[in-house]
Structures are given as C-alpha cells and as structure tokens.
Amino acid sequence: MRVNQIDPNQYGKLLSDKVQHTLTYFAGIEVPKPSVVESVKQNYRLRAEFRVWHQDEDSFYIMFDPETKEKYRVDYYLPGSELLNKLMQAVRQAFLVNPELRYKLYQVDFLTSLSGEALVSLIYHKPLDDRWQNEAKILKQQLNEITKVNLIGRARKTKILLDQDYIIETFDVNGQQLSYKQIENSFTQPNGFINQKMLEWAANISHQLNGDLLELYCGNGNFSLALACKFNRVLATEIARSSVKAAQFNISLNNIDNVVIGQSSAEDFSAAYFEGKSVKSLKDIKLSDYQFSTILVDPPRAGLDRDTEQLVSKFDNILYISCNPETLANNIRAIQSTHQVQDICLFDQFPYTHHIESAVWLTKR
C-alpha cells in the first residue's frame, strides 16, 4: 500500500483481516487463542529511507509503489515517527538552498529512536570533498537544534562520519531501562513501541522459567539483555559481526555480567552442539558447563533449518519469535511430536501491510 493511501480509520479492520489470515497457517496445530498487540496507528516507524528526485529547481523525496514500481512524492511520511518527519523537512529545506548539499544527492536514510537520538545518512553519486564536509557540519548544527543528530555522508568507497555511525536507544521493559547501540545499516526493529511489547512478552514468559538460556540469531542483544535477569546465564550467537560487536557493547553499557555473545551462524552452532565441538568465537566456553532449560530463536523469514529444528527440540522450553508465520507453522509441525504450544501472541510490527510478527512459547510434552 502506498504511504499516501494509508487511512488510519481502516486500521482495526485491516489488522483483524491480517490476524485471521495468519491463523490459517496454523491449521491442524493445537494452539491457544492468540493475544494480539496493536500498534499505534501512525508515527510508529523509527527508520526509513527515501530516494531524492531532482526536477528543475525542485528536489523532493520519493518512494516506489510496491506493486506498480511507479514513483510517488512523499512530503509527509505517515508511518514515520514525529521526529523522523521533522528531520525529513529540515534536511530537505537545507539541501534545497544549498547547491553543495543538493548536487547529486541520491538518497537520504533516517534512523530515529524513542530516546530522542537520530542518525541521518546522505548518499551521493559524486565524490565528497572538504567543501561538502564544511556544509554538512553546518547542517548538523541546524539539525541539533531539533534533537541530538549524528550525520553521515556516503559516496562510492567513501563514508564520512560527523561524530559517529550509531545512536543509543532506550527501552522500558516492565520498569527496567535498557539501552542499545543501533548502528547505521544494521538491523533494528522498526517499530519501537511494538518491540518493547515483544520484550515484555518474552520477559513475562521467562519469569516462569529457570536455568540457563541459549539464544540464536541474537542481533544486537535485543532479547538477550532483556532476559538476562530471568536466567542464571545467557549464551547467544549471531552471524553478523557488526551486530555481535554492538551486542557486546550493549552488555557493557547495561552493566550485565551473565551474558556471553559470540559470532556464529545457527547452522554452525547446531552442528557444533551435536558433534561436541567448540564454536570458534566461543572457544573458551564449555557448553557442558551450562544447564540450558530454554532456547530463544528469532530467525530470518526462511525459518529454522533442519539441524536447528533438531536442536530446539532438545530443550524444555522454546521461545520462537518469527517474522514469517508460514515458516513458523512449518517448524512447529516438525517438532509437535515433542513440543506443544503454550502461548501465542501476534504483534502488529508492520501496520497496513500483510506482515505480522508472531511469538510462540512451546514446552516439551
């Protein structure tokens, strides 16, 4: 759906239709009635990227229709946070009257936060020289009058930082304040309000559990940090090096001492687990020293591979966060002889689209 076609008055019906469609994937699986967590109806998205279209004396943001691929102008981005929209307007006003900032500007990316920090990336099809950098510093000062902004200039084989390439986000999880380093071009949950609700759901389930937690696909430690206080120890893995570094930074930032995070794919970790081998990035860790009672997985849309399905089936408790209900249902069918669904919650992470985030708690039969 085009941004300029979104009608917040239709939100309730669209969500209801999406939930009913999602539940069709679970046909034949015994599941309790799901809880559904609604999003705010607008200004929910914390990050966005826009192409810049130059037409005569004007330049403006555009997006592309997901079906027709036709471009359309975006002056106000209804899904975007209020801060994101303020920065959109301020950046455009600045480059419209500044030839150095405007010339060959191809794209602008925005990353905002609930904590009020923001990151703006200007992407060019031209070399960036000292003149550009001087004008960019002036722009950064102007944007800092709105909020704390870090600015990045990008061109072919070039990345210029005006301060840093990350922001610090803060979430409130059942009264616990947690801070997260979020890096430019790294994955973060786009809907901060819904992400807090997902963390609360996982924390409330984990409050009933004990022992140690194993987590795969941990990203920047989003769930790892929120659940650290619920388990004796947490061992987590992630394949993206930048996310692993951010996660380790976040462990220190939040003064958490019972979480270890290493770089590994879920497939490699599963193989090492079954073969009794050490994981390269966790070579000083003895898996036999852990008393795992619970595993948390938050895989990509493809879901769990067969080896990881076998791995999760060894645990008493499985917390499965999914962005694809179809592969989630297929994975549940593969392990339903050993596990049953105790709780299911649907989070409307992506309003006005067919996508929905699902969270499931399974226990061993």
H-state helical runs in 43-182 = 82-96, 99-102, 130-143
* Amino acid in position 16: S
Nearest of 201, 228, 229 to residue 215 by alpha carbon: 228
| Residue 273 marked ligand-binding | no
189 is in an annotated binding site: yes
CA distance 342 to 352: 28
Enumerate the active-site residues.
Answer: 323, 357
Q: Helix count (H) and strand count (E) of the chain? A: 10, 17
Q: Where does the chain have alpha helices with state H? A: 11-23, 82-96, 99-102, 130-143, 192-206, 222-227, 241-253, 266-275, 306-312, 325-335
For 243, residues 6+ apart whose C-beta sits below 8 A from its C-beta are 183, 186, 187, 218, 219, 220
Does 222 belong to an annotated binding site? yes
Which residues does residue 280 pair with via DSSP β-bridges, in sequence order?
none
CB atoms closer than 10 angstroms to residue 338? 15
Q: What is the 3-state secondary structure (H, E, C) of 314-325?
A: CCCEEEEEECCH
> Could you give the C-alpha distances from 133 to 70, 220, 322, in angstroms and in order?
33, 30, 42
Is 238 labelled a binding residue? yes
Q: Answer whether 347's CB lies under 8 Å from 359's CB.
A: yes
Instruction: Tell me: is residue 182 an annotated ligand-binding position.
Output: no
d(CA 297, CA 92): 40
Q: Return binding residues for S-adenosyl-L-methionine.
A: 189, 217, 222, 238, 298
